[in-house]
Amino acid sequence: MSETANAILTVAVLIVSVPSAMLFVQVMVATFRRRSSCVDEFATPPRIAVVVPAHNETKMLAQLLATVLPQLRKQDRVVVVADNCTDDTADVGMKAGAEVLVRDDARRRGKGFALDYGVAHLAQSGAPDVVIFIDADCEVAPGAIGKLAKLAHATTRPVQARYALNAPLSAGLGARVSAFAVRLKNHVRPLGNLGLAAPCSLNGSGMAFPWPVLSGVQLATPNIVEDLALGIDLTLAGWPPLYCPEALVTSPLPSSDTGHHAQRKRWEQGHLSTIAHMFPRLLLSAIMRRSWTCLATALDLIVVPLTLLVFAQIACFAVSACFHALGGSVIPVVIQCASLCLTASAIVMAWWTSGRDLLAGSDALYIPLYMLRKVPMYVSLIVGRRVGWVRSDRE
């Protein structure tokens, strides 16, 4: 094999190994270097407005408001945006004591438009110091609202709560594996970023914004992963999001297999699309500005979902092994083996520290089958129609 071919394959394998290395570093730092977000419990809370986008959330909205309203003072507000609803979501919100905005616009559907509608109302009726976005299907742990608001106000940065998706008690192994994957993405990796003094991604619910920051961003977008793109835009604008693990927001996983599949497909499709559009901008900004925050955000962005990451590494290993068998260099094989070891080590460490309540050691035997079941989804992402905004089915 020519030296040029050896060099090209080696560089390609090194590039594919970068997400594995980043994942390993994040999990390692989260495991061994715990760092608080330094919430000042004694600081005076700023004026808070909680905005809740709600589309046909009669079943869940009252439960959310019951966890939010007791945490607010008289000068604080809760604004529910009943967005293109066909049920009594608006009535539920009003009966609970929230301000309710009814929005009907079938052409501009999606969470981003609902959030923009709520923020525009706040701008007209009296801007608060901090705005917190919480999805209507969530529950907020005691004290979380104050912690988010204080940290956002003190740092003048967007703040992301610990956002956990919980599997129901009767959940099968597939749902528990999915819940662990979300915990790795939404908690373990952001905790590692906190230790690295790096920004975290925004996860859609439990997001707090100082008003001066929020008033300068574009929320009205049909982007199916608007939270991920918003966090990157804010980082590029000089307001990198900060993780607050002390503030907990929870939500149930979709109750049906169809709902869960649609949600995962939407998330992963949106993530891959965001990589294609935003990674070059982040990398260029990191070089031009000599910015660690932009570089760290770029590296965090390319850590694709675990199943896809493992499939990509297996494919690279197969190509490298075949190349070596035909007379090529063994270096790509060695690099890819190291990359697979980093990924496996990161998953095991994350499970040991944060996943044993979800998965027993014996459940690892199921994981290859879980991964194989996702192959049709990835095939459909390549050759099928793109998924737009849909509401996930939940109990």
Residue 386 has pLDDT above 80, yes or no: no
Indicate the range of 34-43, 264-273, 370-379 predicted with least confidence.
34-43
Segment (H or E) for 16 = helix 3-32
Whose tokens are 């050896």? That residue is 6
CB 50 within 8 A of CB 138: no
Average pLDDT score over the chain? 86
Query: What pLDDT sits at residue 38?
Result: 65
Position with higher pLDDT, 335 vs 253: 335
Residue 122 has pLDDT above 90, yes or no: yes
**pLDDT tens per residue across span 49-71:** 999 999 988 888 999 999 999 99
Residue 261 has pLDDT above 90, yes or no: no
Indicate the range of 81-90, 102-111, 337-346 predicted with least confidence.
102-111
What is the torsion angle, in degrees rounded to the nearest 10, for the CA atoms of residue 192, residue 344, residue 367 and residue 201?
20
CB 317 within 8 A of CB 329: no
Q: Could you give the CA distance from residue 64 to residue 332 in angstroms, rounded to a whole number?
A: 51
Q: Could you give the CA distance from residue 343 to residue 299 in angstroms, rounded to a whole number?
A: 15
What's the number of CA atoms in the CB half-sphere (13 Å) around residue 71? Answer: 24
Helix/strand/coil for 135: coil
Strands (E), the chain: 48-54, 77-83, 99-103, 130-133, 139-140, 159-166, 207-210, 242-252
Residue 323 has pLDDT above 80, yes or no: yes
Helix/strand/coil for 340: helix
Task: Provide CATH code, domain 48-255.
Answer: 3.90.550.10
**pLDDT tens per residue across span 100-121:** 999 988 788 888 899 999 999 9
Listing DSSP states for 158-216 in one string gives: -EEEEEEEEPPTT--HHHHHHHHHHHIIIIIHHHHHHHTT------SSSEEEEHHHHTT
Q: Which two tokens stand for residue 117?
A: 């509608």
**pLDDT tens per residue across span 348-376:** 999 999 988 888 887 777 777 777 777 77
User: Mean per-residue pLDDT for 198-212?
Assistant: 93
User: What whole-number percentage of the chain has pLDDT above 70?
Assistant: 88
Domain segments of the chain: what residues? Answer: 3-33+280-383, 48-255
**pLDDT tens per residue across span 283-315:** 999 999 999 999 999 999 999 888 888 888 888
Query: What pLDDT sits at residue 362?
Result: 79
Query: What pLDDT sits at residue 234?
Result: 93
User: Mean per-residue pLDDT for 214-227?
Assistant: 74
